[in-house]
């Protein structure tokens, strides 16, 4: 029982250290690069999160793509 409790504590402490990878976009005219990134606090279980699961990141990417930026990843 103590071992499983300790394992869960370690798992959740490590999960809090992970961040979803940002989505990188490039302006084809200027070559400027920008990132749309989510914050860890936006996710209940960050270990399973991706940047695309955040509505704010989707909105960020959509706005840049509408302006002609290209997604690099």
Q: What is the pTM of this model?
A: 0.61
Q: pLDDT 10s per residue in the chain (73 long)? A: 655 554 544 444 444 555 678 999 999 999 999 999 877 654 455 555 555 668 889 999 999 999 999 999 8
CA separation for the pair 11, 7 (Å, rounded): 6
What was the pLDDT predicted at 21? 85
* 66 burial via Cβ count (<10 Å: 0-12, 13-18, 19+): exposed
Domain ranges of the chain: 2-71
Give me 28's structure tokens: 């084809």
């Amino acid at each position: 029982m103590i071992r499983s409790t300790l394992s869960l504590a370690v798992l959740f402490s490590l999960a809090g250290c992970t961040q979803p990878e940002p989505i990188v976009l490039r302006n084809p005219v200027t070559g400027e690069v920008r990132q749309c990134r989510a914050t860890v606090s936006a996710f209940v279980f960050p270990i399973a999160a991706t940047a695309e699961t955040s509505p704010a990141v989707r909105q960020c990417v959509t706005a840049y793509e509408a302006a002609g930026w290209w997604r690099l990843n």
